[in-house]
Amino acid sequence: MKGILVVNAFLHSGKFDEIHSWLLKAASKFNIDLELKSNADLMAEIGINFDRNKKLADFILFWDKDTKLACYLEQLDYPVFNSSRAIGICDDKALTHLCLMNSGIPMPETIIAPMTFSNIGYTNYDFLKKAAARLGFPMVVKESFGSFGQQVYLSDSYNDLLKIVKSIGAKPFIMQKFIRTSFGRDIRLQVVGDKVIAAMYRYSETGDFRANISNGGRMKAYTPSHEQCQLALKSCQVIGLDFAGVDILFGENDEPIVCEVNSNAHFKNIYDCTGINAAEAIIEHIYKRMNIEKQ
């Protein structure tokens, strides 16, 4: 079996390279010839004559957010893991909440900021007063596109909110009710297929309301409850994910609240914390899916 691991041509860091190498190593254990190619190697070529029957691989493991390329490869009938639709939903925090809103999945109360244009920006900020009346303070503000807890802000007052939004500019963002009982703590559940394969409790000891490890948070192995697992699995099923990292907050009575769903969750930290290798689970899942489809 042959596969292609798609990565971003312009994103270079040891953290990403390590994830890629783990996936390649895991593939070799299943006798899968997994070739690494960038989104610049596989540019979408529409309307150009080529042999559609000449397949480069049996499947695509898409470890990037170039959803247009993922969609293009799907149009060429390649099985793509995760799908372009699922990656796109997870990449946009507003779309994530819209996708989950009718599924009975508890989430923080959320207001999506009105869209504006990059060459115009916001000509008035009256909508912020309505959001403040609905959500109160402190209020969480998140840029729709961002990772590792970055582009996430906590506003304590209307003036603070206005300052944050002006700094964001015309970029899309959401506003959320602050879950006080989850200040500086959450859990990350690693989902592959229909299983939660690992979980870790993340917490901040620096006074930061975010618990992300990349922001200085700490971690320890965690045994999730049945309710937490079912919530993570349902979130992935609704979005259509083969694998993901689901971040869950603690409600007033420790009830689980979905914070974010990450289609290409980095799993080095959860491996260091639990000893469970998500790369092997992901490759095994794809291997089984591909063999089932051949039958």
pLDDT digits (tens, 9 = 90+) for 77-100: 999 999 999 999 999 999 999 999
**In which band, very low, low, confident or very high, does the pLDDT at 30 lie, cut at 50, 70 and 90?**
very high
State whether residue 253 is helix, strand or coil. coil
Distance CA 284, CA 270 (A): 18
Q: What is the pTM of this model?
A: 0.93
What is the rounded end-to-end Cα distance, in angstroms, of the chain? 14
Higher pLDDT, 82 or 16: 82
- Give me the mean pLDDT over the 131-157 stretch: 92
Closest CA to 181 of 249, 132, 227, 247: 249
Which pLDDT tens digit goes with each residue over 237-266?
999 999 999 999 999 999 999 999 999 999
Distance CA 295, CA 291 (A): 7
Which pLDDT tens digit goes with each residue over 213-245?
666 788 899 999 999 999 999 999 999 999 999
Pinpoint the alpha helices (H) of 113-252: 126-135, 158-168, 226-239
pLDDT of residue 244: 98
The helix or strand, by DSSP H or E, that contains position 23, with its residue range, turns out to be helix 14-29
**In which band, very low, low, confident or very high, does the pLDDT at 40 lie, cut at 50, 70 and 90?**
very high
Buried/exposed code over 281-291 (b: 16+ C-beta within 10 A; e: otherwise): bbbebbbeebe
**Cα three-residue angle 128-131-136, rounded to 5 degrees:** 115
pLDDT of residue 205: 83
